């Protein structure tokens, strides 16, 4: 579906007209400007449609004496506030006066900061009102040759305020009212007619960007994918469309609208909106379908303003080479029938995992092609006991097959030998109080463990020909058909029709062929999103064709990673630096399904 610009936007699209907004213009006097300073006076004026409809003023008795310089500046002395109400009386009264209004202040960060701290100290709920800062508004609306600065006194004189600011709260609030009205009149000539316009104008949201907000008018409030595009014409007069940016949301209208407001602060997105000529949306039956469609569109379209998920296929794996004495190799393609471990998002991650495996199994690191019949000289690693030295054709060569098989088994079924391989080394480092070195090793092992869980999570899902699952949602039930780790169909149905909807979805689902190498049929990132959805609470399996399972020892019991790394004697000590425990895989014997907790 393509959004179109309506001839006349609705009032909801325009926002709240400024004439209907109630503003409370507030000013505070305080004992200083630090976080420890206290409020000594609150003055506020309530205005609507240009008319004053109420005023609020009270002195406030602080706990500490008022500094002499502040007394000279404001005229508020310690004696003057001696009989004034304390803050726990004054602030609730102001809260009632300002309820439901937009706060206005000159240098709002100062006044609103004091108010928020006061609310927190008294346990009052901060309502999170919209805030207009007349300083920011003046800096955007007025030219430098019109006013030398944006001080309240300067602006009051420029707009011919009937009240002269004098560092007393109510007088300064009255002067700020006149400044506000002067600024509103000024920006009204620039097309600022609503509260939303005013907020965006203050943070310099350009008029042409605000004008594009009507693109969101035709966008539904539903889950789906949106794409900003730019139409152009080439030298031959052919029209072409370039997709600039792709995103997803569970409320398309709200998300698309946000790109034209002050809430969007990313510089590159500002540029994208400026060059865009329109926006397309595709509604989706479920949130997961929207996530998957977003990934597929980013991969196929390669939008220049998207950063993430553009290289979903650029992954690396570890594999054992096919030679007499196999060695670890980092590969970007998985050969048919090869046993691999991964994937990793970059080469550095694979290299860290390889270092862990070298320590655990002492397989060779050299890239020399070794002969099974002719011995060669060993390297320094063999002399250090960090390689079994198959090159010498002695005991190391005789046992190398078992070592390589143990390494393969750690990938396919049991991660515990890798985790336990550093116990002696960690114990020595802890006993010697070399905690930083121990933390590096423990961190590397924790990273390897997370990689192992990811490896089994993906391969288990990729091995299932079909899995139909559902979760309860506001739509009734969100139902998904997953084949070899790829989303083949998605639908939503009311509870009474969930079973028949699942059958219809399976019948019309995309045909997915079994992928090679035990990898997901879709991208790895898509399979991870699907796995995350399946593992959330409340998901129910409707039907499975094949077994969705993990090896029992692919993970360890919750909280037991430290036990595996350190052994029972040291595992009760606090975690080592760089080590974070990972959650386990738990087996459900009834369904033969292992779900990570």
Q: What share of the chain is helix, strand, coil (3-state, %, to 5)?
A: 40, 20, 40
Nearest alpha carbon to residue 443 among 293, 578, 241: 578
H-type alpha helices, 226-369: 252-258, 267-275, 287-301, 347-361
Retrieve residue 438's tokens.
Answer: 């121990």
Tell me the CA distances in angstroms from 525 to 173, 275, 276, 345, 471, one per residue in order: 55, 30, 28, 10, 21
- How many Å apart are CA 491 and CA 483, to the nearest integer? 15
Please give the full DSSP string across 161-209, using - where no structure is assigned.
-SS---S-HHHHHHHHHHHHHHHHHHHHTTT--BHHHHHHHHTT--HHH
Active site annotation includes 167: yes
Task: Let me know: does 203 contact 136? Beta carbons within 8 Å.
Answer: yes
Retrieve residue 319's tokens.
Answer: 């594999």
The active-site residue, picked from 106, 167, 181, 270, is 167
Retrieve residue 113's tokens.
Answer: 């900061």
Tell me the CA distances in angstroms from 499 to 33, 97, 179, 530, one per residue in order: 65, 55, 64, 21
Residues with Cβ within 8 Å of residue 468, at least 6 apart in sequence: 479, 480, 481, 482, 502, 505, 506, 541, 542, 543, 544
Q: How far apart are the first and last CA of the chain?
A: 39
Q: At what angle do helices 108-122 and 134-141 cross, to 10 degrees?
A: 160
- How many Å apart are CA 428 and CA 422, to the nearest integer? 10
Task: Let me know: does 317 contact 353? Beta carbons within 8 Å.
Answer: no
Strands 316-320, 340-344: pairing kind: antiparallel
Helix (H, G, I), strand (E, B), or coil: what is residue 5? coil
Helix (H, G, I), strand (E, B), or coil: what is residue 456? helix
H-type alpha helices, 282-385: 287-301, 347-361, 380-383
Retrieve residue 514's tokens.
Answer: 């079994």
Element at 96 (helix H, strand E): helix 87-98
**Max CA pair span of the chain:** 103
Retrieve residue 244's tokens.
Answer: 């600039």
Is the peptide bond prior to 296 cis by the omega test (within 30 degrees of 0)?
no
Q: How far is CA 110 from the centre of its chain?
A: 30
Which residues have a catalytic role annotated? 167
């Amino acid at each position: 579906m393509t959004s179109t610009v309506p001839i006349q936007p609705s009032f909801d699209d325009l926002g709240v007209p400024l004439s209907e907004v109630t503003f409370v213009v507030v000013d505070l006097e305080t004992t200083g400007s630090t976080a420890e300073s206290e409020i000594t006076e609150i003055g506020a004026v309530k205005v609507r449609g240009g008319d004053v409809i109420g005023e609020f003023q009270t002195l406030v008795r602080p706990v500490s004496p008022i500094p002499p310089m502040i007394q000279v500046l404001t005229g508020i002395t310690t004696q003057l506030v001696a009989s004034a109400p304390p803050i726990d009386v004054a602030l609730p009264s102001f809260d009632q006066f300002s309820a439901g209004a937009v706060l206005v202040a000159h240098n709002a960060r100062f006044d609103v900061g004091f108010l928020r701290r006061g609310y927190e100290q008294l346990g009052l709920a901060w309502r999170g009102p919209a805030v207009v800062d007349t300083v920011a508004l003046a800096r955007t609306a007025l030219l430098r040759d019109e006013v030398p600065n944006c001080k309240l006194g300067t602006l009051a004189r420029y707009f011919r305020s009937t009240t002269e600011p004098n560092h007393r709260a109510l007088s300064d609030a009255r002067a700020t009212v006149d400044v506000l009205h002067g600024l509103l009149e000024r920006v009204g000539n620039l097309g600022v007619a609503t509260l939303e316009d005013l907020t965006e104008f203050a943070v310099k949201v350009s008029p042409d960007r605000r004008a594009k907000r009507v693109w969101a008018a035709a966008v539904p409030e539903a889950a789906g994918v949106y794409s900003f595009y730019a139409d152009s014409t080439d030298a031959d007069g052919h029209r072409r469309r370039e997709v600039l940016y792709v995103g997803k949301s569970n409320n398309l209208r709200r998300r698309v609208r946000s790109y034209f407001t002050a809430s969007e602060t990313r510089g590159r997105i500002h540029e994208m909106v400026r060059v865009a000529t329109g926006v397309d949306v595709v509604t989706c039956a479920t949130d997961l379908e929207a996530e998957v469609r977003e990934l597929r569109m980013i991969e196929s379209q390669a939008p220049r303003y998207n950063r993430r998920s553009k290289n979903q296929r650029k992954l690396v794996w570890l594999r054992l080479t096919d030679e007499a004495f196999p060695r670890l190799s980092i590969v970007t393609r998985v050969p048919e029938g090869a046993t691999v471990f991964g994937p990793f998002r970059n080469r550095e991650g694979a290299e860290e995992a390889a270092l862990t495996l070298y320590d655990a199994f002492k397989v060779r690191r050299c890239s020399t092609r070794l002969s099974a019949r002719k011995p060669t000289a060993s390297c320094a690693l063999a002399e250090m006991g960090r390689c079994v030295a198959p090159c010498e054709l002695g005991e190391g060569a005789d046992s190398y097959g078992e070592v390589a098989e143990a390494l393969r088994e750690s990938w396919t079924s049991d991660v515990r030998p890798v985790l336990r391989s550093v116990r002696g080394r960690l114990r020595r480092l802890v006993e010697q109080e070399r905690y930083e070195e121990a933390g590096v090793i423990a961190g590397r092992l924790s990273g390897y463990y997370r990689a192992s869980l990811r490896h089994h999570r993906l391969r288990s899902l990729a091995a299932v020909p079909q899995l139909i699952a559902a979760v309860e949602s506001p739509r009734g039930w969100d139902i998904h058909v997953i084949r070899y780790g790829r989303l083949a169909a998605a639908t939503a149905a009311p509870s009474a029709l969930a079973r028949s909807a699942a059958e219809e979805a399976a019948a019309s689902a995309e045909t997915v062929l079994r992928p090679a190498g035990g990898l997901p049929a879709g991208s790895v990132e898509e399979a991870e999103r699907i796995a995350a959805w399946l593992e959330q609470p409340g998901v129910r399996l409707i039907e499975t064709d094949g077994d969705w399972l993990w090896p029992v020892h692919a993970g360890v019991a919750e909280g037991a990673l430290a036990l595996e790394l350190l052994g029972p004697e040291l595992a009760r000590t606090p975690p080592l630096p760089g080590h974070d425990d990972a959650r386990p895989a738990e087996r459900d014997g009834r369904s033969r399904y292992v779900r990570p907790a």
